[in-house]
Structure 1
Amino acid sequence: MRGPRPLPTTFLFGCAYVLSFVDRQILSLLIGPVKADLHLNDFQFAVLNGFAFAVLYSVLGLPISMLADRFPRPPIIVGGLALWSLSTIGCGLSDGFWGLFFCRMGVGIGEAALVPAVYSFLADIVPPARLGRIIALFSAGSFLGAGLAYLSGGLLMDVLHAGAVPGGLVPWKFCFVIVGLPGLLLAAVIALFVHEPSTRGAIEARAGLMKTYEFIVGQKWLFPLHFLGYSCSAIMLFSLMAWSPAYLMRVMAMPHGTVGGVMGAIAIVCGCGGIYTSGRLIDALTTRGIVQGPMIVGAGGMAGAALMFLASALCGKGNAGLVFFALAFFFASFPMAPSAFVIQTVSPRAMRAQISAIMLLCNALIGLSAGSMLIGMLDDRVFTAADGIRYALPIVAVTASMAGALMIAGTAPFYLKRHRALSHAP
């Protein structure tokens, strides 16, 4: 039987990543009607939008990844996709806070199964010289999904408000049903057409968590600096995605109705363009024998994002500020490809999914949670003016990005040592 072909497989997995971000982001776009219909306060909505999703998404990623390192990965990916799609549909059938809370937890559990298993799978079917761009193509689904959510969420609500909604559901509930259904169809397609590659080999030793821990410790500072450095880059990226609407409205005086279209265009064009450029640069550098290419691309992207966003903050209103803001988003997407590339190329095959899950855990706890909360705290308690986000967001994002660039640059000698060890392995 012929093994999975890289491009069609990456396309299917990328579609799943797009849907994961649409299903993840859609609640934030429906804040008004959800709060009104379910009589929620801001704190309850914040719990649903953030904590309910992230708590099990971050925690369960590691045990699910251990399954992905031990058993065929397509069924795990298909099961996760079906679970988060059904849970998204369940959000539309919920009548209260707790029903929506548990469905959002289901979305988080399902999405925790996707990325580590996909990264491990792609590393088994893609030649090393092309791995950077293939990982970039898959990862671009996150920006495409976020952009589509920005662009289509409000439009979908307008269309549903204008006509009768099937099943007697209110428009926001039907939105959840609509965005959840494609995932079930995609799950069936992946189950039919994607199979475990025969090259994986059943004779390879299964790696438990202790073996993975011993391997990480044995690489000295490579993984600690890698995890912390790219978590700092996640602070920059997640901060831009979470706080950009407020930043554009309060600092750049952009009308509320324009923000969704602008953010959607920036996320799709600059996010997807940046991450694909990153992957191509990694492949170009490594093909030319520059082993530290992933460090150059990752650290360079972080430094570029910090400088561009600082320039945007200094410009304030006007086209120049918006151009620098878009360029900051472009460079902020660079680290996603080298982050995954390094893990897949230096880790033993039986540990790839687990180490990827540890990386995602650090990203979720440090980048998604801590960074965003720190910005909110500074905005509430230090920079209390109406446009306090002008200072809070750049201080956190720029500082984190520069710190991350230094840490990723510091991984270069340890990465080179590991690369040489693998090159001389029998």
Structure 2
Amino acid sequence: MSISAARTPHPIPTTILFGCAYVLSFIDRQILSLMIGPVKADLHLNDFQFAILNGFAFALLYSVLSLPISMMADRFPRPPIIVGGLALWSVATIGCGLSNGFASLFICRMGVGIGEAALVPAVYSFLADIVPAARLGRIIALFSAGSFVGVGIAYLFGGMLMAMLQSGGVQGGGLAPWKLCFIAAGVPGLLLAVVIAIVVPEVAARGKTAVRSGLLQTGAFILDRKWLFLLHFLGYSCSAIMLFSLMSWSPAYLMRVMAMPHAAVGAIMSGIAILCGCGGVYTSGRLMDALTTKGVVIAPMIVGGMGMVSAALLFLVSVLCGAGHAGLVFFALAFFFASFPMAPSAVLIQTVTPHAMRAQVSAIMLLCNALIGLSGGSMLIGVLSDRVFTAPDGIRLSLAVVAIPASLAGALMVAATARLYAKRGRSPAQT
């Protein structure tokens, strides 16, 4: 029986389809980091300017528009919103490949951010409506694993395609190889948008929900639990600095410090992203579900905080080891634990928040992640690399100075939410 034939979409195939969209979102978002060399050369950029394109340009409207889009997701059918966002960011990715300067590439990167702002809050809300609470951790982890599959594909096939294009194995039709990579990355999203539009309906029972919350009601709910949400948002945004830093700047590290070609960087980072990223986030989800089943109320804080501390310590060991094989092994382990906080951050919001405002609260979480974790952290690393740690291997120190303290600070803030969550956090969603 097809998904569309059921009154309530089946969790597994629906999650897989949404996960495929998440895969494509991270391919389209992340592939720029692998193109750091040719893009900087063609557009005459420094590290800070590249960081603006890689982080700020994407995060700017992603952050601004995530709230109004999430309000729509709390009021109207969510599949059309997801489909529209998917189509938009795919077209914008193709536009990146047709850009001829910094300004046009900046605008297209903003378009990618606008489209992707429609995905995660709507999907989290949708999954929470079709998945029992005892299984929500692993289902959200399954969806979240799409981000690491997307990063891995971007690294692997982006590097391979760049190598083929640069060697003349594939004709570029007059376009630079990095531009063709963007075009190739954008096309599959348009096809997936058609599939989701055809086979995924809105949850039938949702139409019976009488109350729809606006931004004022959502704001009042958050303010009534201000310390829980403030520490949650800031703590997981700090953890995002670690994860996004490892995602965005590790190709530069491998190329500059280890002198690896694009294809080698793509293969190594693909393996780390897919095996360690997916393994870490799924392990996180299963641990949460296991602890929750045993009656451990603060399971999200335990799992998320453990991941943050472990990632910081393992990355410190990697930095101290330097550019050898040991450094790469500890880097992979740090990546494994850096992915742990993704599922706990989402599960807590879906558990605490009433149905009518889940997408909006998720959007605020993602807004903080984008501004602090993706944009702020990436730009700070770029500034340090340009002006402080200017040696060829300076990117290693820039990463360490920014990501390690942020991850430890995030763990402290998440730990501080445990008592608040156990005392007041869980009851509102059950009312």
TM over 0.5: yes
> Are 1:240 and 2:226 counterparts?
no
Q: 1:420 to 1:118 in 2, by over 3 A?
A: closer
- Any idea what the Cα deviations from partners look like across 1:40-84, whole Å, max 9, x if unmatched? 444665544333322111111111101101100000000000111
- Any idea what the Cα deviations from partners look like across 1:337-370, whole Å, max 9, x if unmatched? 0000000111011111111110011111111122
Does structure 1 retain, via aligned residues, the 8 Å contact 2:52–2:379?
no
Q: Counterpart of 2:162 in 1: which secondary structure?
A: helix
- Any idea what the Cα deviations from partners look like across 1:290-322, whole Å, max 9, x if unmatched? 111111000010011111111212222333222
2:80 to 75, 79, 90: 75
> Are 1:345 and 2:351 counterparts?
yes
Give the letter for the 1:201 counterpart.
Answer: G
Percent sequence identity is 73
Does structure 2 retain, via aligned residues, the 8 Å contact 1:245–1:259?
yes
2:207 to 201, 204, 211: 201
Alignment coverage as a number of residue pairs: 423
CA distance in 2, matches of 1:303, 1:9: 33
1:185 to 167, 182, 191: 191
Q: 1:9 to 1:319 in 2, by over 3 A?
A: same
Give the letter for the 2:221 counterpart.
Answer: F
> Are 1:221 and 2:227 counterparts?
yes
Which residue pairs with 1:173 in the alignment?
A: 179
Which residue pairs with 2:3 in the alignment?
A: none
- Any idea what the Cα deviations from partners look like across 1:94-145, whole Å, max 9, x if unmatched? 4444433332221111111001110110000011011001101111111111
Which residue pairs with 1:56 in the alignment?
A: 61
Give the letter for the 2:340 counterpart.
Answer: F
> Are 1:117 and 2:122 counterparts?
yes
CA distance in 2, matches of 1:386, 1:169: 30
1:155 to 154, 160, 163: 160
- Any idea what the Cα deviations from partners look like across 1:6-37, whole Å, max 9, x if unmatched? 00000000000110111112233334554566
> Are 1:278 and 2:284 counterparts?
yes
Which residue pairs with 2:385 in the alignment?
A: 379
TM-aligned CA deviation for residue 392 of structure 1 = 2.9
Q: 1:182 to 1:420 in 2, by over 3 A?
A: closer
Q: 1:389 to 1:172 in 2, by over 3 A?
A: closer
Which residue pairs with 2:418 in the alignment?
A: 412
Q: Counterpart of 1:199 in 2: which secondary structure?
A: helix
Q: 1:44 to 1:350 in 2, by over 3 A?
A: same
| 59-68 or 369-378, larger mean C-alpha shift | 369-378
> Which 5+ residue runs of structure 2 have no aligned equivalent?
1-5
Does structure 1 retain, via aligned residues, the 8 Å contact 2:304–2:340?
yes
TM-aligned CA deviation for residue 197 of structure 1 = 0.5
TM-score w.r.t. length of structure 1: 0.93
TM-aligned CA deviation for residue 172 of structure 1 = 3.5
Does structure 2 retain, via aligned residues, the 8 Å contact 1:165–1:171?
no
TM-aligned CA deviation for residue 381 of structure 1 = 3.7
Does structure 2 retain, via aligned residues, the 8 Å contact 1:204–1:350?
no
Does structure 1 retain, via aligned residues, the 8 Å contact 2:160–2:266?
no
| 397-406 or 72-81, larger mean C-alpha shift | 397-406
Does structure 1 retain, via aligned residues, the 8 Å contact 2:93–2:108?
yes
CA distance in 2, matches of 1:114, 1:103: 18
CA distance in 1, matches of 2:259, 2:52: 28
Does structure 2 retain, via aligned residues, the 8 Å contact 1:25–1:149?
yes
Which residue pairs with 1:24 in the alignment?
A: 29
> Are 1:361 and 2:367 counterparts?
yes
Q: 1:137 to 1:347 in 2, by over 3 A?
A: same
CA distance in 1, matches of 2:357, 2:223: 13
TM-aligned CA deviation for residue 91 of structure 1 = 2.5
| 402-411 or 236-245, larger mean C-alpha shift | 236-245
Which residue pairs with 1:289 in the alignment?
A: 295
1:99 to 99, 104, 115: 104
Does structure 2 retain, via aligned residues, the 8 Å contact 1:292–1:412?
yes
Give the letter for the 1:193 counterpart.
Answer: V
CA distance in 2, matches of 1:389, 1:283: 38
TM-aligned CA deviation for residue 278 of structure 1 = 0.2
CA distance in 2, matches of 1:51, 1:109: 13
Q: CA-atom RMSD, angstroms? A: 2.2
Give the letter for the 2:84 counterpart.
Answer: G
> Are 1:12 and 2:17 counterparts?
yes
Does structure 1 retain, via aligned residues, the 8 Å contact 2:149–2:278?
yes
TM-aligned CA deviation for residue 147 of structure 1 = 1.1
CA distance in 2, matches of 1:263, 1:280: 25
Give the letter for the 2:271 counterpart.
Answer: A
Does structure 1 retain, via aligned residues, the 8 Å contact 2:162–2:177?
yes
Q: Counterpart of 2:427 in 1: which secondary structure?
A: helix
